[in-house]
Structure 1
Amino acid sequence: MKAKPLWLALAGSLVLSLGCVGTASAKTIDVVTSFTVLSDVVQHVGGEHVNVKSLVPPNGDPHAFEPSPEDAKALGSAAVSFISGEGLENWFQRLATASGAHIDPVVVSKGIQTHTFEDEGHAVTDPHVWNSIPNVLIWVDNIEQALIAADPEDADAFKDNADAYRQSLRTLNEQIHQQINAVPKAQRKVLTSHDAFGYYGEEYGVTFLSPLGMSTETEASAADVAQLIDQIKAQHIKVYFIENSNDARLIKQIAKATNARPGGELYPEALSEADGPAPTYEALMRYNTDQIVRAITSE
């Protein structure tokens, strides 16, 4: 076998060396997010340039989360942190104080037109903004700007990732509208554990009723439950859903009293594990929509 010329062998070695250096030196920044839905959106925008940690784990409740010392340590060393805001993560400020973090979190819901409900005589902002894809498009804008500020060297990558993700989300939004619009409006009524689907209902035209308010930390009174049962019967709501991050006992009791049938499990505010049905935000929106449409169109 004829030996390669020395210059060619050296050139090949140099290319391999440069390739290894380029791969090893790809810059990444540590990012902390409050819960899994937000973590996935940040990961899509950040791509290979971010190491993302979600404080609330898969299937976890972002309302009633109890942070650990390890969470405080991660937050204290993060280059940037993200929360949804609007009262969702009431525990976050305590964690930030304990962590010694000197950088305020990025509130990704800034700029979203929120709506309020009356809860125990007070106007409460609904924090579950991500259940409407147009709201998450605003998240993407805010995340893109924050990552560029934290890591200007990778600005082009963040912009490209954000553009591609926005296009994918817009396509999914159109698909969900088509699915829901194919169902007669009178059938688009369901019962869920707590009031997490207000933005979904507003965007896609579905009516949701629930025994609890915006937060799973609230408790429904006997009078509230009785009133809800009457309302379910009056509106002929025939299907109920449990939620992956909440206790299902109360919703099952109400369903029994109203003869509502089970529609399955929805993912209102937490992703599933990687091998579950909703490991990403887009998968969550597809899965929830498929479950709702299947339930309200079945006899």
Structure 2
Amino acid sequence: MRRRSLLALPALLLPGLAPAHARAQTQAAPSVVASFSILGDMVTQIAGDRVRLRTLAGPNADAHSFSPRPSDAQALRGAALVVRNGLGFDGWMDRMIRAAGYTGPVATATQGITPRQMDAHAHGHDHGGAGRRHNHSVAPRQVPDPHAWQDLRFGIAYARTIAAALARAVPAEAAAIEANAAAYIARLEALDAWVRAEVAAVPEARRKVVTSHDAFGYFGAAYGVAFLAPQGISTEAEPSAADVARLIRQIRAEGITAVFLENMGNPATLERLAREAGVVVRGRLYADALSEPSGLAPTYEAMFRHNIGVLVPAMRGDAA
């Protein structure tokens, strides 16, 4: 009788006999820290719940001016992997890695990418350095443009770099991570083809867009669109009156109808520019940050679909 009652006990009450899924649930997934929302989404698409993700500059957050919290440094210390953009975009992450004493693996998404070069003094500042004015006696210094994810071909390179780092960080899940990455890359390749077809339907002379800051250089080079911005590549700098006046003249002279705000940053300058140029701001683009989950661009893929969905009719001059 005694023997029978012991056999009837649930297995999970007997030492060493817990079901496999119950044992797995007691083992916390490795922690991954991503610097900003686009990289965080890529980690999610590739690893899913096989890792615990912490994204520092989250939805609608301006990664140019992000200030890490003490809790962010603490999360870094326990991470199995850190994912950053590089090219100076998230330099605060590099400083935090040093300050936190983190010595684990770091995946730099732009690794192996040959970046576009930009004038460091364009619109009066270096990237991340507000208020620095151009000295006309000094030759302009070229710096890398960090917004490489705006070209989906580079987004695919990001995905490959992140997937390889995740597979090394979580070797027990490497097969699933690699399968997810392959499916994700196939979707990005299809999305790239769709973007090219949509933009190609707009006459080349109409492919001109004014945005808040110069975050779309890679998009423009990849898909044949000219982007103009009163601010340079950082959202922290204030454009000069001459910059704004020049853009107003160009909008009027060339009949530019695609004028957009971005989902982060101060809209006042662009709203004033549009008002003085006599054009309508056609909505918001997502450049450096995704939206909240319930918003228009909660993922990297959704960001491109939203941006193309508003850019194409605005470039054609369709009624707002």
Partner Cα distance (2:170, 2:21) in 1: 22
SS at match of 1:91: helix
Check if 1:182 corresponds to 2:234.
Answer: no
Partner Cα distance (1:33, 1:232) in 2: 38
Partner Cα distance (1:72, 1:142) in 2: 24
The residue aligned with 1:211 is 230
Check if 1:265 corresponds to 2:284.
Answer: yes
Structure 1 residue 113, shift from structure 2 partner: 2.4
SS at match of 2:142: strand
Unaligned segments of structure 1, at least 5 residues: 1-5
CA contact (8 A) 2:79 2:104 kept: no
Check if 1:246 corresponds to 2:265.
Answer: yes
Task: Say if 1:162 and 1:27 are closer, same or farther in 2 by CA, change over 3 A.
Answer: farther
The residue aligned with 1:58 is 59
Partner Cα distance (1:286, 1:41) in 2: 16
What's the RMSD between the two structures over aligned residues? 2.1
Structure 1 residue 142, shift from structure 2 partner: 0.7
Task: Say if 1:163 and 1:27 are closer, same or farther in 2 by CA, change over 3 A.
Answer: farther
The residue aligned with 1:3 is none
Matches within 5 A, 1:184-199: 184-199=203-218
* TM-score (norm: length of structure 1): 0.90
* TM-score (norm: length of structure 2): 0.85
Aligned pair partner of 1:151 in 170, 180, 184: 170
CA contact (8 A) 2:80 2:105 kept: no
Structure 1 residue 17, shift from structure 2 partner: 6.1
Task: Name whichever of 203-212 and 117-126 sits farther off.
Answer: 117-126
The residue aligned with 2:136 is none
SS at match of 2:143: strand
The residue aligned with 2:247 is 228
Unaligned segments of structure 2, at least 5 residues: 122-139
Structure 1 residue 280, shift from structure 2 partner: 0.7
SS at match of 1:274: coil
Matches within 5 A, 1:1-299: 18=19, 20-21=21-22, 24=25, 28-103=29-104, 105-120=106-121, 121-297=140-316, 298-299=318-319
Q: In the alignment, residue 19 of structure 2 is paired with which amino acid?
A: L
Size of the aligned set, in residue pairs, is: 290
Partner Cα distance (1:260, 1:292) in 2: 15
Tell me which stretches of 4 or more aligned residues in structure 1 moved more than 4 Å.
none
Partner Cα distance (1:19, 1:97) in 2: 39
Structure 1 residue 163, shift from structure 2 partner: 0.5
Structure 1 residue 138, shift from structure 2 partner: 0.4
SS at match of 1:208: strand
1:143-193 Cα deviation digits (max 9, x unpaired): 111112212121111110110101111111111111111111111111100
Partner Cα distance (1:213, 1:101) in 2: 32
CA contact (8 A) 2:257 2:314 kept: no
Partner Cα distance (1:44, 1:217) in 2: 31
Partner Cα distance (1:175, 1:245) in 2: 26
Partner Cα distance (1:195, 1:57) in 2: 21
Task: Name whichever of 98-107 and 267-276 sits farther off.
Answer: 98-107
